[in-house]
Every structure is written in structure tokens, then in C-alpha cells.
């Protein structure tokens, strides 16, 4: 599996996810600067966490209009897997590649803690190494993780089974406890929790490892 990590000004989990990808694939991913007009041929595109453009204006709003996002959208349309973690998830919703939006946490504060999640889908490349109903623990670290969509969208998202992960104890007010959501084709995933922060024993948890291993198994 060849992976590319898009680096925006203000990305700060780019290195962390690169390490997790390298551990899973045995090869370092390509790091692609947001100004690049083209993407090399890859099997997976990752939008990392952080504060792209300082989260000024709206989280992810400016990054969603970066030059590289045209190429990301084209690849996504062609079925290339796209993973957005935290700020990456926010960028994907701002870019229209995923439904909904991520608002300020209901408690209005940044939250960094490990939360429980339930896996809702195991038939996507991202979740193939999990079981449906499996409960896992992953860290979250965000101020804007409150997933919102209008009723009609939520109905469609639920109806088409696009919810990939749900919070067991909703930390941020997300609609329907949604922590991670897929596009209709199951080829684009956005999630607020950080699997790269739970991918080796030194992290205190390894439940994120399966996400990367599942991708490797599905895409190699």
C-alpha cells in the first residue's frame, strides 16, 4: 500500500500518522505540501490532524480550498481511499467530501482524553480489521468535534449505514454520537479520534493499530 499524507500549514499530526503508516506498511508515506498541484499515484490519501491555517475562519475551511484539494477530490471520486483524522475530518466536511459539519464542542472547551467507541461498520477498508459492535478506546483532542447535520442528512447517513464509529459516552455533543463517518461508497472516512495515538504499546493503548493494518490488508 502506498500512502500520501497531505501537509497543510498548521498540520501537527502529520508526522504522527506517518509513523503509524510506516509501522503498518514498512515504508514511509509520501509527504505532500498543500501547494502541490498534483498527487503521485497512491492507494491512500491521509489528511492529518492539527490546526490548518490556525483554525482561523472555521476549522478546515481554508485548507479545504488549498490547491491540492482539487486532486484529492478527483482521486476520491475515482475511488482512492481518503482518511481524514480530526482536523482532516473537518477539512473533508468543508470540502464536501463527507456529509455534515463539525461545530464547537457542546462544553465549549478543548477536550483531550481517551474515549470509548463502538465500531459500526467492518466492511470498509478502514474498518476491515475490526468487528461490528466491537468496543475500542481511542484518544480525542479537539475543540470542534461536535458532529452536526440536518435531519434529512442524518437520516440518509444512518439509512445508508455511513456511520463508522460511535461514541459510547458522547464527549462533545455530536449528533447520534457520531465519531466517524464514511461517504456513501465507503471509500472516504473522517473521524475525530486519533488512531495514530493508539498504535503501539508505549501509547498506553493499541486499538488504533487495526485501522492501519486493515487498510494495508485491503489495499496491498
Partner 1 sequence: MSVVIEPAVTPELAAEHGLKSDEYQRLLEITGRVPTFTELGIVSVMWSEHCSYKSSKVWLRTLPTEGPHVICGPGENAGVVDIGDGQAAIFKMESHNHPSFIEPYQGAATGVGGILRDVFTMGARPVANLNALRFGSPDHPKTRHLIAGVVAGIGGYGNCVGVPTVGGETNFHRAYNGNILVNAMTVGVAPADRIFYSKAAGIGNPVVYVGSKTGRDGIHGATMASAEFSDDSEEKRPTVQVGDPFTEKLLIEACLELMATDVIVAIQDMGAAGLTSSSVEMAGKGGLGIELDLDAVPCRETAMTAYEIMLSESQERMLMVLKPGCEAVARAIFDKWELDFAVIGRLTDTGRLVLNKGGTTWADLMIEPLVSRAPVYDRPWLPTPAAAWVSADEVPLPCRPCEVLLRLMGCPDLASRRWIWEQYDSQVGADTVAGPGGDAAVVRIHGTGKALALTTDCTPRYCLADPYQGGAQAVAEAWRNLTAVGALPLAVTDNLNFGNPEKPLIMGQLVGCIQGMAAACRALDFPVVSGNVSLYNETNGEAILPTPAIGGLGLLRDVRRRVGLGFVADGDMVILLGETRGHLGQSLYLREIHGREDGTPPPVDLGLERRTGDLVRDLINDGLVTACHDLSDGGLAVAAAEMALAGDRGAELVLPIGVDPIGFLFGEDQARYLLTAADSVQILHRAGAAGVPACVLGTTGGTVLTINRCNAISLVQLRAVHERWLPQLMAGPAAAAGCPPDSERPVGATGCGC
Active-site residue list: 86, 194, 196
| Contact status: 180 vs partner 1 (CB under 8 A) | no
Residue pair 142/130 in contact (Cβ under 8 Å)? The answer is: no
| Contact status: 26 vs partner 1 (CB under 8 A) | no
Q: Tell the smallest beta-carbon distance from residue 102 to partner 1 (Å).
A: 16
Residue pair 113/74 in contact (Cβ under 8 Å)? The answer is: no
How many of the other CB atoms lie within 10 Å of CB of 108? Answer: 9
- CB burial class (10 A; 0-12, 13-18, 19+) of residue 156? middle
| Contact status: 65 vs partner 1 (CB under 8 A) | no
Nearer to partner 1, 9 or 161 (CB): 9
| Contact status: 27 vs partner 1 (CB under 8 A) | no
| Sign of CA pseudo-dihedral 33, 19, 210, 11 | negative
Q: How many whole angstroms separate alpha carbon 66 and alpha carbon 57?
A: 14
Nearer to partner 1, 110 or 155 (CB): 110
Of 55, 94, 177, 207, which lies in the binding site for partner 1, with binding defined by CB under 8 A? 55
Of 3, 6, 20, 182, which lies in the binding site for partner 1, with binding defined by CB under 8 A? 20
β-strands 178-182, 188-191: how paired?
A: antiparallel
Q: Give residues in contact with partner 1 (CB under 8 A).
A: 9-10, 12-13, 15-16, 19-20, 49-51, 53-56, 109-113, 139, 141, 143, 194, 196-197, 199, 202-204
Amino acid at each position: 500500500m502506498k500512502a500520501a499524507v497531505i501537509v497543510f500549514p498548521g498540520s501537527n499530526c502529520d508526522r504522527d500518522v506517518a509513523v503509524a503508516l510506516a509501522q503498518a506498511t514498512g515504508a514511509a508515506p509520501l509527504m505532500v505540501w498543500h501547494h502541490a498541484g498534483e498527487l503521485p499515484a497512491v492507494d491512500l490519501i491521509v489528511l492529518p490532524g492539527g490546526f490548518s491555517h490556525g483554525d482561523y475562519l472555521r476549522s478546515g475551511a481554508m485548507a479545504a480550498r488549498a490547491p491540492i484539494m482539487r486532486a484529492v477530490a478527483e482521486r476520491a471520486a475515482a475511488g482512492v481511499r481518503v482518511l481524514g483524522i480530526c482536523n482532516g475530518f473537518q477539512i473533508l466536511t468543508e470540502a464536501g467530501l463527507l456529509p455534515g459539519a463539525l461545530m464547537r464542542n457542546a462544553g465549549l472547551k478543548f477536550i483531550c482524553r481517551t474515549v470509548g467507541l463502538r465500531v459500526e461498520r467492518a466492511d470498509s477498508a478502514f474498518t476491515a480489521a475490526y468487528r461490528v459492535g466491537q468496543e475500542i478506546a481511542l484518544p480525542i483532542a479537539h475543540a470542534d468535534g461536535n458532529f452536526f447535520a440536518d435531519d434529512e442528512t442524518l437520516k440518509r447517513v444512518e439509512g445508508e449505514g455511513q456511520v463508522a464509529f460511535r461514541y459510547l459516552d458522547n464527549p462533545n455533543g455530536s449528533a447520534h454520537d457520531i465519531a466517524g463517518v464514511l461517504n456513501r461508497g465507503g471509500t472516504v472516512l473522517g473521524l475525530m479520534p486519533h488512531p495514530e495515538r493508539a498504535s503501539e504499546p508505549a501509547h498506553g493503548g493499541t486499538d488504533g493499530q487495526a485501522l492501519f493494518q486493515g487498510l494495508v490488508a485491503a489495499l496491498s
